[in-house]
Amino acid sequence: MQHTTEEILHQIYLFSSFSMDELAKIAEKTKYKVLEQGDAVYQEGNDAKAFYVVMYGTLKILTSTEKGDDVSVTTIATGDHFGEFPFLDQGKRAGTVEAMERCELLEIPFEHLQHILDSDKELALKFYKGITTYLVKRMRLLTHDLAYARELKKRYS
């Protein structure tokens, strides 16, 4: 069964509190993209113009060390979203995202999303609440991982 863009977006926690009419506004300029294994969505240091929702597939986020080696940061999969940080801080891409298998993505242009949020304050509040909740969860996980890494360093140093 085929799902509409609105139905797919509604399944993502970031948009789960949005009505179908609100999601239709976002879906209006959302693009469907297919990547094959090894394809890059974007490269570290690139300008950012959109963020992405993973409809299907697995991708890896990589960052480069000062020596130029690629380090895998995390893996993202069906139902996740990525690339939203530059929407919040207007920065460049902090990593490279590559498909680990065939992937289907929704691309949400920043300019379109900003226009929608600027014109509908209630929708903006829902969006920023959702993204804040997401970022707090990521910070908690990062804090836990750092504490664990420090403990391992103490044990094996």
What residue spans define the domains of the chain?
Answer: 5-156
User: Residue 157: helix, strand or coil by DSSP?
Assistant: coil
- Taking alpha carbons only, the member of 47, 48, 26, 28 closest to residue 113 is 26
Q: Is the pTM of this model over 0.75?
A: yes
| Residue 118 φ/ψ, nearest 5 degrees | -65, -30
Task: Note the residue count of the chain.
Answer: 157
Extended strands (E) in the chain: 31-35, 40-42, 50-56, 58-64, 70-77, 81-82, 96-99, 103-109
On the CB side of 150, how many CA atoms lie within 13 Å of its CA? 6
d(CA 7, CA 142) in angstroms, rounded, equals 31
User: What's the pLDDT score for residue 141?
Assistant: 84
- Structure-derived torsion over alpha carbons of residues 11, 6, 92, 114, reported in degrees to the nearest 10: -120
What are the tens digits of pLDDT across the range 44-91? 999 999 999 999 999 999 988 888 778 888 899 998 999 998 999 999
CATH ID of 5-156, from 3.30.70.270, 3.30.565.10, 2.60.120.10, 1.10.3720.10: 2.60.120.10
User: What's the pLDDT score for residue 145?
Assistant: 80
